[in-house]
């Protein structure tokens, strides 16, 4: 499935170029979005610019920006951005560009545990998962996969493994189903073993392999998708 994608005009030009280079993207428009940084465009919309689809919005943050906006007192208030996404889109995600291990490099006293706490808070209180991605290329790839998979959900054709599950399913379980290579049954098993995003983030590859349907390669894919790195 291919997509037409809108990128907010306040994003660095390199983000738009990375989106345009993704193999699943057919066209990119740089424009001012009502919320979020990346969203899908309705290709059937007539006029000068297609309408932004309300299915899902992607907010991009560097790790430093996230620490400042979610924990610190400087920068844009991430909570306000998340609430705005909730008004515009059916669901939103925050994707982090960078290594969480560097989170305290320029802010003494701030550690990864504090960041994990805010990630859990956004997932539990605002129904907005925060997913770490190690670099811009992986962040864009995860963003496009999320946009694509949410577009696939209402399709009349059978869904491929890894597509999101039904809207009545708990959001955390739907998120697990968005991981590449994770089908509905494996998403169910992961949700039973790790009923929250933070629990899955904390799981080791060995613990993941104990889940039915998760072998070595799938465990590595889960770790890479959620943490942006291989353990």
- Range among 81-90, 113-122, 159-168, 176-185 with highest mean pLDDT value: 81-90
Q: Is 198:119 a contact under the CB 8 Å cutoff?
A: yes
Would you state the pLDDT for residue 134?
82
| DSSP-assigned beta bridge partners for residue 62 | 97
Contact 226, 205 (CB under 8 A): no
156 versus 31: the higher-pLDDT residue is 31
Write out pLDDT tens, residues 150-197. 876 443 333 343 333 344 456 666 667 667 667 778 888 888 888 877
Min mean pLDDT across 26-35, 56-65, 145-154 is at 145-154
- In the prediction, which pLDDT does 10 show? 94
Question: What's the pTM?
Answer: 0.63
Q: So what's the pLDDT on residue 218?
A: 84
**Which pLDDT does position 127 carry in this prediction?**
87
Confidence of residue 16 (pLDDT cuts 50, 70, 90): very high
Which pLDDT belongs to residue 179? 72
CB contact set of 108 (below 8 Å; sequence gap of 6+): none
Domain ranges of the chain: 159-231
- If 0-12 CB within 10 Å is exposed, 13-18 middle and 19+ buried, where does residue 112 land? middle
Listed residue (164, 152, 224) closest to 3, CA to CA: 152
Question: Any idea which fold 159-231 has?
Answer: DNA polymerase; domain 1 (1.10.150)
Burial of 101 (0-12, 13-18, 19+ CB in 10 A): exposed
Over residues 199-223, the mean pLDDT reads 85
Question: Could you read off the pLDDT of 132-148 as tens digits, one per residue?
Answer: 888 899 999 999 999 98
pLDDT reading at 118 higher than 80: yes
Mean pLDDT of the chain: 78
pLDDT band at 77 (very low <50, low <70, confident <90, very high): confident
């Amino acid at each position: 499935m291919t997509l037409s994608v809108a990128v907010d005009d306040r994003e660095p030009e390199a983000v738009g170029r990375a989106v345009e280079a993704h193999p699943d993207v057919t066209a990119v428009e740089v424009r001012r979005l009502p919320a979020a940084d990346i969203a899908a465009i309705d290709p059937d919309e007539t006029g000068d610019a297609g309408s932004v689809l309300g299915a899902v919005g992607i907010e991009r943050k560097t790790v430093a920006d996230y620490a400042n906006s979610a924990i610190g007192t400087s920068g844009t208030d991430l909570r306000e951005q998340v609430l705005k996404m909730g008004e515009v889109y059916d669901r939103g995600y925050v994707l982090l560009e960078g290594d969480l291990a560097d989170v305290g490099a320029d802010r003494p006293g701030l550690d990864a545990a504090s960041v994990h706490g805010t990630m859990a808070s956004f997932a539990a209180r605002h129904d907005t998962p925060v997913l770490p991605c190690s670099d811009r290329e992986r962040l864009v790839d995860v963003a496009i996969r999320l946009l694509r998979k949410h577009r696939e959900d209402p399709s009349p054709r059978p869904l491929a493994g890894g597509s999101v599950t039904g809207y009545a399913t708990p959001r955390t379980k739907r998120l697990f189903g968005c991981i590449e290579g994770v089908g509905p049954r494996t998403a169910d098993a992961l949700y039973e073993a790790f009923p929250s995003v933070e629990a899955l983030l904390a799981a080791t590859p060995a613990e993941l392999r104990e889940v039915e349907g998760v072998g070595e390669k799938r465990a590595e894919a889960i770790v890479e998708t959620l943490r942006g790195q291989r353990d």
